[in-house]
Amino acid sequence: MTTLDPQQAAARSWFESLRDRICAAFETIEREAGSDATFDYLPWWREQDGAKAGPIEEGGAGGGVRGVMKGKVFEKVGVNVSTVGGAFSPDFARTIHGAGEENPGFFATGISLVAHMANPHVPAVHMNTRMLVTTKRWFGGGADLNPPIPYDEDTADFHAAFRAACEAHEAGDYPRFAKWAGDYFYIPHRGVHRGVGGIFYDHLEGDFDDSFAFTRAVGEAFLDVYPRIVRRRMGLPWTAAEEAHLLEWRGRYVEFNLVYDRGTLFGLKTGGNIDAILMSLPPRVTWG
């Protein structure tokens, strides 16, 4: 039996509680739109040679819960949490901060969210935060807004929320993290960014309490700002041409996640649940 240390347990508990509050907020928006849509939850266990399927505390390789809702406002939104552990493959270990062939063991816990919206005027969004332990211990994550039809007010509010979260914590560095998001959420073969940015950070391995507090602030900022933006736009009418633009624009999101996204690669390389990993893909999409 493996016992999570207090920091690992606290991080897991926080990510699960944030999931619960985000899902409740999104279901409330569906009620306001006259929909009775709710999240469907599917637990899964990671499989790895030599480890049974089950929680880490019971000697298993860990797992998670995939939550998906398809409604009137949220055409498809996935909110996943996972807590997994084990050993990286030798090749993959060489690409992970603090891991290597001599010590490929790891522990990871986090939340990942992607929302694809029915109304082209409502921006899609991505958010994830995580803690990863190898021979080092660090936090990473961020959020970025992906509007098919950008509104300056929405972009400004989204960035302001995360700027405030950064400025309230020593671990936060808004100029650096905003630039990091702009550089990361970019599609080289298209020569375009996939949205209007946000923040992205990784390998935040300073003081645990401050890094964890900042990571919690990122989650709280998202929970505050994104529902406000959704409510601002969800009642706007849209045209067939705008919907066609939405479906083609989603193709850019698919291309980024399948070709460049580190989280997708991490899940696939560590034996994660395929449906949970690919929940970021939209339900409908077209290419020109």
> Alpha-carbon distance 76 to 188, whole Å?
26
139 contacts: CB under 8 Å, gap ≥ 6: 129, 130, 131, 132, 201, 204, 205, 211, 212, 214, 215
> Alpha-carbon distance 266 to 280, whole Å?
14
pLDDT digits (tens), the chain, 288 positions: 467 999 999 999 999 999 999 999 999 999 999 999 999 999 999 877 666 678 888 888 899 999 999 999 999 999 999 999 988 888 888 888 888 878 888 999 999 999 999 999 999 999 999 999 999 999 999 999 999 999 999 999 999 999 999 999 999 999 999 999 999 999 999 999 999 999 999 999 999 999 999 999 999 999 999 999 999 999 999 999 999 999 999 999 999 999 999 888 888 887 778 888 888 999 999 997
Burial of 27-36, coded b for 16+ CB within 10 Å and e otherwise, reads: bebbeebebe
> Alpha-carbon distance 111 to 66, whole Å?
10
What residues are labeled active site? 126
Domains of the chain: 6-280 (3.40.1500.10)
The 3-state DSSP class for residue 261 equals: coil
Q: pTM here? A: 0.94
